[in-house]
Amino acid sequence: MDSQLTLRLPGELAGRLERSARRMNRKRSDVVRLALAAYLDAESAVRPIERVRDLLGSIESGVPDLGQRHREHLLRRLSRGK
């Protein structure tokens, strides 16, 4: 390991960590590393709303039939991964 971190946990959270570690048959530090990695991965992921934010609330989108076919346009945009 490259770095060490010491932290204090409230009793209830420490108990949940202990139960989870026992259930997973892992050390508490392993569970904390897994949870922290999952949290940081989720935090950095692009949320679907961010892909279409520029379309929300636009007066002029440049798409002539956006009002009538908005669902199709959103689905196409999401499937492209933009």
Which pLDDT tens digit goes with each residue over 13-62?
999 999 999 999 999 999 999 999 999 988 888 788 887 888 777 566 67
Residue in this structure with the two tokens 């922290």, named with its chain if needed: 36
Q: How far apart are CA 38 and CA 3, in angstroms?
A: 18
Q: How far apart are CA 9 and CA 26, in angstroms?
A: 18
- Same domain (yes/no): 30, 55: no
| Residue 59 DSSP code | S
Supply the range of the domain harboring residue 30: 8-45
Angle at 20 between CA 30 and CA 37, to 5 degrees: 40
Q: How far apart are CA 78 and CA 76, in angstroms?
A: 6
Token digits for 18?
A: 């202990």
Is 3 within a domain?
no
Q: What is the pTM of this model?
A: 0.56
Is 1 within a domain?
no
- Same domain (yes/no): 34, 65: no
Is 74 within a domain?
yes
